[in-house]
Chains A and B, each alone.
Chain A
Amino acid sequence: SSAEAAATESIAPKCRFCVFESGYSGHFETGFGLLSGDGAFNFGDYTGLDDTGLTLIAGASARWREEDGAGYWDAQLSDLGLDSRRIEIDGGAQGLWAASLSFDELPRRLYDRAETPFYGVSRTDLQLPAGWTSGASTMAMPDLASSLNPLDLRQERKRLAAALSFKPAASWGSSLQVRRDVRRGNRLAGASFITMGSQFPLPVDSSTDQLELSTHLNGRKWQAVAGYYGSFFHNDHEALSWQNPYTPLVDGGDFGRLALAPDNQFHQLSFGGGYQPLRRLRLNAHLAGGLMRQDETYLPATINPNLMVALPATSLEGKVNTLNARLRASMGPWSGLRFNAAYAYNDRNNRTQQHFYTPVLTDVLATDPRRNLPYSFTHNSAKLGATYRYRSLAQLSGGWEQDWRSRSYAARARVEESKLWMRLRLDPPGPVSVSGEYALSSRRGSSFRAPEEGRPLENPLLRQYHLANRERDTAALTISVNPVVWLSADVSTSYGHDRYKDTELGLKSRRRTGYGANLSLRPEKRLSLTAFWSQDNLHSEQAGSQSFAQPDWQAENRDLADSAGLRLDRKSVFGKYDVGIAYEFSRSRGETEVSANAASPAFPDLSSRRQELQLYSLIPLRPKLNLRIDYRYAHYRSRDWAIDGVMADSISNILWTGQTSPSYDVQLIIMSLRYEFK
């Protein structure tokens, strides 16, 4: 009775009433958007709506279906007048082959009110104005205030992708996907001469090419896939140099140089399969082997000609092998009862050669030779689980998981974690259903050891949180109410607590609690309403030692986030208008307490608050011609003590860029005509 068997038999009755699609159809949309208000630059982050005034609104779609055939083409063009435009075209002969081509732009708008005295002879050679008088601190730079120029921090990511797939028979098919991501723009980065630092724009001009080839085969009781994935990153720039605005600490210390992300490659072969030897037994296996390579020619150890040291190699010749394997069995020996078992192996084997390098610390000071420590790790995990379902009334699940990790050069060579979990879902007759889950895990490991040669000496009481002993509890509860088909609501709560009881220095606790409520109404086909609210609390505690001895300070972070939303859609008002309203609200607050200095006042809160209201209506003017009117109001405020009020010369040893926390208060009106054709 399988659909495939039914579909492939030549048994299709002649259908008189079937309205199979053929020919062309689609729509054109064009109009304008009027954006007004403050902070449009920030509003344009990811949306492309970053300029006040008029904006072209344009989009289209087209589709074609072959009459009595399998040929088809689809095209979608959206946001053509914005920097977030997207074009997708796909087509082929359904069931035999398909091809697609897409283009997508992703605009990032980071900060528009930054400022810097640096200017680029090229974008990777930042210099200060001619005649710059250096100083021992930012306050002692007489030319700083008059040399500041506005700086926009923005990026554009353009993605071009193509895919081709063949399915010559129901039993096998192949596909090829290629994608090129090109990024242009800048971001902020910092660097220093010992502790005399500067922030400046760093170019992110780069491209990544990805290629995926896969083939799948299907048998009656088995399926198999095999594939290759390749990723090739290319950075247009290898380094960024900048002029030292401070009084040089050493002769020749007039410039510094930062290495940018090196070109690299990743190749991976993967195989997977599923086999069902018995009706109630299913086996799955996956294997993937990868190779990372990086062979960018090294920069000199320093840009300072007086401190030049020899390098042991001209490039890293970095090689990392990865191996990932997973086996999984799913068995249901009796009705209602099912067992799952899984084993996973993930290995990163860094085969990069080791050499002794003589670092010239921040282009100022040649230090003792230091050996690179290629990082490797292995992660094994095993899982056993069972689920028992009593009819559709109740479902009880439980399981055990074990995790083993080993790491090279880490303060702890091995850790292992055990986890027990259970989940219960009750769905009795009536409108209420309940689901709850609880999990408990415990992590232990080998003894902590002294750092490897060449690594900084850390306080021996420190327990890094990915290595430390840990007890973890997580729980969740959801109550759903579904009194009538068209109404559903639920409330939920969740809790998670990581306790690092044996940690004296480092993270000691992280606790998360969450609450939520959701409502969905669809009393008739033309009317729908959804609403949600959620709250999220994150609390962490840690201890530090400024005396490099016993703990002598504690800190707490409390982050609170609320979000809520409402959406109402109504179709065919007065028989012809579609209207809708959507509202979103989110806010967050971050509290920071550091206990060492009781005389200091509390940190101000970090905060953000966003509201967005959208209204739309679709008004039919003529058959096939509609007028769409959208109104959008968006308000965002954020405060961050780390950057607000920090000017270029506020910090004596950091030449800062003076940006402020993002905020906006904008209104957008869009009027567009939409013509549909067939």
Chain B
Amino acid sequence: TWAQKPAAVEPSEQTATPAFSAKGADTCLKCHDEESKFPVISIFRTRHARPADAHSPFAGRQCEACHGPGDVHARGADDDPVPPMRSFGIGKATPISKQNNTCLSCHAGGHRVSWPGSEHERADQPCVACHQIHAPSDPVLSATSQAEVCFGCHRSQRADSLKPSSHPVRQGKLACSDCHSVHGAMGEKLLTSPTLNETCYRCHAEKRGPFLWEHEPAAEDCALCHTAHGSHNPALLVQRVPLLCQSCHEPAGHPSVAYSSGGLAGGTANGFLLGSSCMNCHSQVHGSNHPSGATLTR
């Protein structure tokens, strides 16, 4: 069989006056036990199954609060095919916008204010592409397992996370959501803060300044020199020093010399090439607050 793809015709709930099943979840659980094709018992270990919370689906229509009226579905349980209900996931019959509106009818506030028109919404991603609603511990909500969920689509970021210089995503010490507000954000790339630099400063506040002597590209955009997801070069740099520095600096009196392999250890061991290269002297590349730090050497 081909994998199921969205059907052109929406489920019957759209066209007929829907009816809820008379016994609610009890009706569903008659079939959907742990041995069924779609087991649901684990939902009772989630926040959605808390009747004492007035906002919880189980304080209302229970399963049908999200899956829609199920009377027709339940009565046709022995039919082939079984009459559909509102179903969730990529490739399901229910349109993704309808799936997501179900979730947003309770979860539209807070940081999801920006969801409509955001990158993931425009990419037609259903909420359940990332969230496991019936799982007691949703993997995407844990720093140790979240990245694997994101890497399911963001493959180049997974490859970057394996490079020699990377943030500790692979080690489970940093979650993608520490930097990205995945439900929509004010700034570019779904960053948690309005700008890239403000996002970086959340962990690297020592680089924020303002400094007496600023290195303008550093104050403006960390990504001019660093790549956030992983690099072959130390300190997540986009290119090796000294060539990275020489892309932008050709000052008079301090010539941009073509440092060749003759300057390696074993050769003339050139201090402008080896070690930290330019930063052997200009170590304050993020800015200096020293009165004599104009050249970022103090």
- Contact digits for B88-111, partner A, Cβ 8 Å, 1 yes 0 no: 000000000000011101101111
The complex places the Cα of A584 from the Cα of B162 at a distance, in Å, of 9
Question: With an 8 A cutoff between CB atoms, is A16 at the interface?
Answer: yes
Is B120 interfacial (CB 8 A cutoff)?
no
Query: A-facing mask of B263-298, CB < 8 A → 1, else 0?
Result: 011100111011111011101101011111111011
- Find the A residue at minimum CB distance from B290: A259
Bound state CA distance, A322 and B187, in angstroms? 13
* Interfacial chain A residues near B234, Cβ < 8 Å: 640
**Counting CB contacts under 8 A, is A70 at the interface?**
yes
Expressed in whole angstroms, the Cα–Cα distance for A163 and B44 within the complex equals 26
Annotate A387-420 by CB proximity to B: 1 below 8 A, 0 otherwise: 1010110010100000000010110000000000
Interfacial residues of chain A within 289-348, with CB under 8 A of chain B in the complex: 290, 292, 294, 296, 298-302, 311, 316, 318-320, 322, 324, 326, 328-330, 340, 342, 344, 346, 348
Task: Report Cα–Cα, A270/B110, bound state, in Å.
Answer: 13
Query: Do B250 and A545 touch across chains, with their CB atoms under 8 A apart?
Result: yes
- Other CB < 8 Å A-B pairs besides A302-B292, A457-B253, 6 of them? A18-B44, A94-B52, A298-B290, A329-B117, A642-B241, A642-B275
With a cutoff of 8 Å between Cβ atoms, the chain B residues found around residue A602 in the complex are 261
- CB B218 to nearest CB in A, in angstroms, measures 10
Q: Is B59 an interface residue (CB 8 A)?
A: yes
Q: Which residues of A contact B286 (CB under 8 A)?
A: 261
The residues of B that contact A592 with a CB separation of less than 8 Å are: 240, 243
B202 contacts which of A231, A328, A377 (Cβ < 8 Å)?
A: A231
Determine whether B138 belongs to the interface, using a CB cutoff of 8 Å to chain A. Answer: no
Interface stretch (choices A124-132, A145-153, A554-562, A571-579):
A554-562
With contacts A206-B206, A233-B205 taken as known, whether A284 is within 8 angstroms of B44 at the C-beta atoms is no
Is the CB of A548 closer than 8 A to any CB of chain B?
yes
Q: Is A247 an interface residue (CB 8 A)?
A: no
A201: B residues at CB distance < 8 A:
none
Which residues in B have their C-beta under 8 angstroms from that of A235? 206
Q: Are A192's CB and B281's CB within 8 A?
A: yes
User: Whole-angstrom distance between the alpha carbons of A210 and B193 in the complex?
Assistant: 13
CB distance from B199 to the nearest CB of A (A): 12
Chain B residue nearest to A172 (CB atoms) is B109
Tell me if A436 counts as interface (CB < 8 A to partner B): no
Contact among A47, A96, A206, A536 with B159 in the assembled complex (CB-CB below 8 Å): A536
* A348 adjacent to B256 (CB under 8 Å): no
- CB–CB B105/A5 < 8 A: yes
Q: Point out the residue from A258, A274, A407 that lies within 8 Å of B290, measured CB to CB.
A: A258
Q: Say how far A436's CB is from chain B's closest CB, in angstroms.
A: 14
Q: Is B15 an interface residue (CB 8 A)?
A: no
Nearest-neighbour CB distance to chain B for A33, whole angstroms, equals 15
| Contact, CB under 8 Å: B105 / A18 | no
Let me know if A603 and B276 touch, CB within 8 A: no
For A557, list chain B residues within 8 Å (CB): 239-240, 243
Residues of B close to A653: CB separation below 8 A: 271
Chain A residues with Cβ below 8 Å from B22 are 13
| Complex contact B260–A594 (CB within 8 A) | yes
Q: Give the 6 A-B residue pairs with the shortest CB-CB distance, closest first.
A: A596-B258, A13-B24, A330-B117, A7-B60, A95-B53, A2-B105
19 of the cross-chain contacts (CB-CB < 8 Å) are A7-B61, A20-B49, A66-B52, A70-B52, A225-B110, A259-B284, A259-B289, A319-B210, A320-B209, A326-B186, A328-B114, A459-B251, A485-B3, A514-B156, A534-B159, A606-B240, A608-B232, A651-B270, A656-B275
Contacting residues, chain A, for B203 (C-beta < 8 A): 181, 208
Query: Do A6 and B258 touch across chains, with their CB atoms under 8 A apart?
Result: no
A344–B185 alpha-carbon span in the complex (Å) = 12
**How many angstroms between the C-alpha atoms of A318 and B54 in the bound complex?**
50
Contact with B along A432-466 (1 / 0, CB 8 A): 00000000000000000000001011110110111
Is residue A36 contacting chain B, with contact meaning CB distance below 8 A?
no
Q: Does A104 lie within 8 Å of B173, measured CB to CB?
A: yes
Contact among A8, A373, A462, A594 with B59 in the assembled complex (CB-CB below 8 Å): A8
CA of A543 to CA of B23 in the docked complex: distance in angstroms? Answer: 76
Min CB distance A510 to B, Å, is: 8
Interchain CA distance A172-B232 in the complex, whole Å: 47
Name the CB-closest residue of A to B121. A330
- Distance in Å: Cβ of A463 to nearest Cβ of chain B: 9
Instruction: Verify B291–A299 contact, CB threshold 8 A.
Output: yes
CB distance from A304 to the nearest CB of B (A): 10
User: Do residues B168 and A506 form an inter-chain contact, with CB atoms below 8 A?
Assistant: no
A588, B163: Cβ atoms closer than 8 Å:
yes
Q: Are B214 and A532 in contact (CB under 8 A)?
A: no
Distance in Å from the Cβ of B277 to the closest Cβ of chain A? 7
Assembled-state Cα–Cα distance A8/B201 (Å): 41
**Most chain-A Cβ atoms within 10 A of its Cβ — which of B25, B101, B221, B265?**
B265
> Which residue from B55, B117, B168, B283 sits with its C-beta under 8 Å from A190?
B283
Q: Which of A20, A284, A395 contacts B114 (CB 8 A)?
A: A284
The contact of A654 among B61, B187, B202, B275, by CB within 8 Å, is B275
CB within 8 Å of A: which B1-28 residues: 1-8, 18, 22-26
Query: Chain A: which residue is nearest B7 at the CB level?
Result: A392
> Residue A544 at the B interface, CB < 8 A?
yes
Residues of B within 8 A of A596 (CB): 258, 260
Contact of A608 among B25, B124, B164, B212 (CB under 8 A): B164
Interface size on B, residues (CB 8 A): 144
Report yes or no: B163 in contact with A392, Cβ–Cβ below 8 A.
Answer: no
Contact flag A375-B216 (CB < 8 Å), given A7-B56, A46-B168, A516-B159: yes
Residue of A nearest to B98 (CB): A1
Is A502 interfacial (CB 8 A cutoff)? no
> Which chain B positions have C-beta within 8 A of A214?
110
Report Cα–Cα, A546/B217, bound state, in Å. 23
A162 at the binding interface (Cβ < 8 Å): no
Q: How far is the CA of A362 from the CA of B297 in the complex (A)?
A: 7
Q: Are B56 and A516 in contact, CB atoms less than 8 angstroms apart?
A: no
Determine the chain A residues whose CB is within 8 A of the CB of B105 once the complex forms: 2-5
Comparing A216-224, A614-622, A623-631, A669-677, the segment that makes contact with chain B is A216-224
Instruction: Choose, from A50-58, A115-123, A423-431, the stretch at the interface.
Output: A423-431
Q: Is the CB of B274 within 8 A of A654?
A: yes
Question: Residue A251 at the B interface, CB < 8 A?
Answer: no
A113 in the interface (beta carbon within 8 A):
no
Residue B57 is within 8 A (CB to CB) of chain A in the complex: yes
Chain B residues, CB < 8 A from A328: 114, 117
- Point out the residues of chain B lying under 8 angstroms from A603, CB to CB: 261, 264
Given known A188-B276, A597-B258, contact A483–B289 (CB-CB < 8 A) = no
Q: Which residue of B is nearest A299, CB measured?
A: B290
CB distance from A106 to the nearest CB of B (A): 5
Contact: B239 with A191, CB < 8 Å? no
**Nearest chain B residue, comparing its CB with the CB of A339:** B117
Which of B6, B124, B294 has the most C-beta atoms of chain A within 10 angstroms of its own C-beta?
Answer: B294
Contact B173 A264 (CB under 8 A): no
Complex CA gap A602/B252 in Å reads 28
Inter-chain CA distance A534–B60, complex, in Å, is 47
| Residue in contact with B194 in the complex, picked from A206, A324, A482, A492, CB distance below 8 Å | A324
Residue of A2, A12, A311 near B58 (CB, 8 A) is A12
Complex-state Cα separation, A650 to B271, whole angstroms: 9
A646 touches B275 (CB 8 A): yes
Would you call B163 and A561 a contact (CB within 8 A)? yes
Task: Tell me the A556-609 residues at the B interface (CB within 8 Å).
Answer: 557, 559, 561, 563, 565, 584, 586, 588, 590, 592, 594-597, 599-604, 606, 608
Q: A190-B281, A553-B258 are in contact. Are A6 and B57 (CB under 8 A)?
A: yes
Beta-carbon nearest neighbor of B1 in chain A: A484
Contact status A191-B5, CB under 8 Å? no
User: Does the CB pair B61–A11 fall under 8 Å?
Assistant: yes
In angstroms, Cα B220 to Cα A235, docked, is: 23
Given contacts A6-B57, A94-B53, A643 and B275 within 8 Å (CB-CB): yes
Interface: B65 (CB within 8 A): yes
Chain B residue numbers with a CB within 8 Å of A430 are 2
CA distance A380 to B163 in the complex (A): 34
Judge whether B232 and A606 touch: CB under 8 Å.
yes
Query: In the complex, are the beta carbons of B113 and A216 less than 8 A apart?
Result: yes
A638 within 8 A of B: yes
